[in-house]
Amino acid sequence: MSVSLNEYARAHGKSGDAQKKHSVVSLFSGCGGMDLGFTGGFEFLGKKFGKTAFDIIWANEISPAACKTYRSNLGSHIIEGDIHKVIGRLPAEADVVIGGFPCQDISVNGKMLGIKGKRSSLYTAIVDAVDRLRPKVFVAENVGGLLMKKNEESLEKILDDFGSLGYEIHHQLYNAADYGVPQTRERIFIVGTRKDVPAFLPPVPTTSVPVTAKEAIADLEFHAQDEQFSHIWSLANVSGEQGNRRMVADRPGYTIRAECHGNIQFHYSLPRRISMREAARIQSFPDTFIFPSKLRETERQIGNAVPPVLAWHVAKSIEATLGGVNETRRI
């Protein structure tokens, strides 16, 4: 049985203030990087990223460990399980739908199967959620490799499927380093706006001088290992596979990967791989963000995440887009 948004919020302990915000449904939430960016209210490298006008009312993730991290930092509203099994538990309505659908079949480090692959075909769950909820805006995030010639057919299919729902579609490649994230991470954001919503204007880059690896993690160079702080690192030896590059001190870090099997990039000056807390810094997570899992699982969660700072800038642009929208919902 469907319930109204207000009834849903009350049932899940949302405050009166929260009900005044734009409600958000989050899919493929992982440990919560994108969700943290969309809600704001955190600090990174001395800069404050204020609270936004968004309230996550429902989230989903299949990984139990990632759900544990999400609950530790963002709240108990996340539902653990396969999206296809829990999608019937969506609230009756939401203003925004967000999700970073799995990218392993699209990434240049994956099998390059495109959306024919089992994981990357999961974007259809976001299509389904948008079709059910008819939000004012939706955001789907994936790797920059989606723009490669080899994935041209996959991108066209994704854009067609979203466009068929009657939304104006905007897609753009972002380099996280252009927005203050100390990492050369390229990701595509697909933003759809309902026909009664103003056109989405993407956030402009905030810096022409990227934050370097040394600026991001220098203070941790002589910090003793601290498991509670996630300042622990892989002892994997150099191998002939991925993840063996050494960071350069005066450049942003390389892309943090999820499936590097311990072969995460090396520190720019120390004889070790970077720690999980250092990887979290490279991804723009605040130091207050807790990762309660062990090293390998934390490595996976950080690598899979959307950088919170980049997500915050996208969220602020969407906030501006929704600023002048008539609150009467179009059915």
DSSP code at position 251: S
* Residue of 31, 67, 103, 260 with catalytic role: 103
Q: Establish whether 260 is a catalytic residue.
A: no
Inter-residue contact 254 to 212 (CB < 8 Å) = no
Distance in angstroms between the alpha carbons of the first and the last residue of the chain: 18
Number of H helices, E strands in the chain: 11, 9
Inter-residue contact 277 to 231 (CB < 8 Å) = yes
CA distance 121 to 331: 28
Helical residues (DSSP H) of the chain, grouped into ranges: 5-11, 16-19, 33-39, 64-73, 83-86, 123-133, 152-163, 213-217, 276-282, 295-304, 308-322
**C-alpha dihedral, 170 to 176 to 180 to 184, nearest 10°:** -160
Give the residue numbers annotated as catalytic, written as ranges: 103
